[in-house]
Amino acid sequence: MNAPHVESSLNLLRLVRQEHDAIGVAVSFGKDSLATLDLCCRVFPRVEGYYLFRVRGLSIVDDWAAAVKARWGVAVRMYPHFDLSRCYRHAVLQPHWAKLDATAQVSMLDIDNHFRSQANVEWIAFGWRRNDSFSRALIMKGCGGYDANARRLFPLRAWRRQDVLAYLARRGIPLPPSLGRKEQAGLDFHPAALATLRDERPDDWEKWLRDFPFAGLQLTTSEQPGRVVEQPGSGAT
């Protein structure tokens, strides 16, 4: 475990703790967000969490939230994913219902601010790392992990994947389910994640098909040998 990374992350959180006794955490239930949640709980007396769902009321998500509550005492609030605005407006994996173009457009900032108001927090910590993507690297470079204007914090900004895994192991935090992939990257439209629902959570799969009735066709097509299907949207919170 890279001890300097951990201490640097804790020091970043302590900057906010000097003025606030609570912080919010964007929880995807993946390894990075769980490490971020644990770090926040080591510094703040009150930690609030939120999760962005694409389908409401899935038992698999309820189980993840219950595990977080049991370990950290943090109740994870549930909000619709901002990507649903795009999905409905453009009929992603669903029929072209009438007046889809009138679907309200919701941004990530809208949800963050709603969460801030409900949870009575000012700052939100994210499990983003600068080697996740080029766009995230630019964000980290611009703010150094501490974005005072947006009131966002990125404690894992300099961590590598192996640092996260080592931290979870040292803290005795079980790895989250992989959802059929190398590691969990959120419950999204990825065929491996959908296949997990179909094969292991049939009730959840039925709920997914209720909201995205063409998801079954997408999954069947993706499982054809040699067939590569472009995903309509993926990625963790």
Higher pLDDT, 99 or 68: 68
- Please give the sequence-ordered ranges of beta strands (E in DSSP) within 54-210, or none if there are none: 76-80, 124-125, 146-147, 152-153
- The number of domains in the chain is 1
Helices (H) then strands (E): counts for the chain: 10, 6
Residue 30 lies in a domain: yes
**Whole-number pLDDT of residue 12:** 95
The three-state secondary structure class of 24 is: strand
Residue 169 lies in a domain: yes
Q: Which of 34-48, 130-144, 222-236 has the lowest mean pLDDT?
A: 222-236
d(CA 224, CA 236): 26
Q: State yes or no: pLDDT of 233 exceeds 60.
A: no
Residue 182 lies in a domain: no
Burial class (CB in 10 A: 0-12, 13-18, 19+), 94: middle
Tokens 């192996």 appear where? 162
Six token digits for residue 31: 């390894």
The alpha carbon dihedral of 138, 144, 148, 152 has a sign of: positive
Residue 150 lies in a domain: yes
For residue 175, the 8-state DSSP code is P
For residue 100, the 8-state DSSP code is G
Residues 6+ apart with CB under 8 A from 217: none
Residue 187 lies in a domain: no
Residue 156 lies in a domain: yes
160 pLDDT tier (thresholds 50, 70, 90): very high
The three-state secondary structure class of 188 is: coil
- What is the chain's mean pLDDT, rounded? 89
Residues 6+ apart with CB under 8 A from 124: 23, 24, 25, 26, 112, 115, 116, 151, 152, 153
pTM exceeds 0.85:
yes
Q: What is the pLDDT of residues 113-126, one digit of tens each?
A: 999 999 999 999 99
Residues 6+ apart with CB under 8 A from 175: 31, 165, 168, 183
The three-state secondary structure class of 145 is: coil
**Whole-number pLDDT of residue 234:** 46
**Whole-number pLDDT of residue 184:** 64
Q: What is the CATH number of the domain that holds 96?
A: 3.40.50.620
2 pLDDT tier (thresholds 50, 70, 90): low
Q: In terms of residue numbers, what domain contains 71? A: 3-177
Q: State yes or no: pLDDT of 209 exceeds 50.
A: yes
Residue type, 73: G
Residue 229 lies in a domain: no
Q: Which helix (H) or strand (E) holds 79?
A: strand 76-80
79 pLDDT tier (thresholds 50, 70, 90): very high
**Whole-number pLDDT of residue 110:** 95
Q: State yes or no: pLDDT of 92 exceeds 50.
A: yes
Q: State yes or no: pLDDT of 181 exceeds 60.
A: yes
Q: What is the pLDDT of residues 59-73, one digit of tens each?
A: 999 999 999 999 999
Do the bridges between strand 146-147 and strand 152-153 make them parallel or antiparallel, or are there none, so unpaired? antiparallel
